[in-house]
Structure 1
Amino acid sequence: MAGTRPHTLVLSGDGSIKSAAEIALSLKQALAAHDHIEIDTQALTAADLTTAQSLLSARASAAAAGKTLSLLAPLGPPLRSILNAAGFLAPAQPHRAFWAASSDHA
């Protein structure tokens, strides 16, 4: 296992359903090898609800394993756009803090 230094996982290119399996595998591998993962979404050129679902699932898996997964600020524009459109950044959303900590909507 890695030490206390966070591991940065860069998500790039099309992060939509077309790449869902690849993103899920990258997240799974990062969680298997590191205790703290920071996700950089700045290089995403596309995102959809599967992107958000994959990140939330990885966050839950990390928590269950006693690990942490966080997002680096700022969120990539495609991810921020889908989160805003789908209401993930609304004040009443239960996972808002996960997204808002790294968005312009905090």
Structure 2
Amino acid sequence: MTGTHSIFSLSGDVGVKSAGNLAADLHEAIGKHSVIGIDTLALSAADITTVQTLLAARRLVQARGGSLVMLAPIGAPLHDVLLQAGLLAPGQEDAEFWSATPDQPAGSDA
């Protein structure tokens, strides 16, 4: 893995039917970059599988000494899934990863 930064854009439907492709694409990006920003504004659909895939990618990047951050704002389809699943509630283990402000990516240490 190099020390480069990358923006990984999610677009279209990234639900259960495309979970394998999403995971493979993320794994490839993780192999090439140590810092990855996830852009979700072009999403048309997401589901809990999308959430699980992103969390697994985040843990893999962290295990390799890098970071995966959500770029703000989070796309509406993903935001809706997170809200419905209660994953944005205070006290949730990964709430800070999803909770982005317009001037700071979610998951950042700043």
TM-score (norm 1): 0.91
What does 1:69-80 correspond to in 2, within 5 Å? Answer: 69-80=68-79
- Aligned residue for 1:59? 58
What runs of 5+ residues in structure 2 fail to find an aligned partner? none
Q: Distance in 2 between matches of 1:94 and 1:30?
A: 25
Q: Secondary structure at the match of 2:88?
A: coil
Tell me, yes or no, if the aligned pair for 1:13 and 1:43 is still in contact at 8 Å.
yes
Count of aligned residue pairs for this structure pair: 103
1:35-81 deviation per Cα after TM superposition (whole angstroms, max 9, x unaligned): 10001011110000000000000000011010110010000000000
Partner residue in 2 for 1:32: 31
8 Å Cα contact 2:74-2:100 kept in structure 1: no
Say whether the 8 Å CA contact 1:75–1:102 is kept in structure 2: no
Tell me the residue number matched to 2:17: 18
Give the letter for the 1:88 counterpart.
L
Unmatched runs of 5 consecutive residues or more in structure 1: none
Query: Cα RMSD over matched residues?
Result: 1.6
- The alpha-carbon deviation at position 92 of structure 1 amounts to 1.5
Structure 1 segments (4+ residues) deviating >4 Å: none
Counterparts of 1:46 and 1:93, CA distance in 2: 23
In the superposition, the TM-score normalised over structure 2's length comes to 0.88
Task: Give the AA of the match of 2:62.
Answer: A
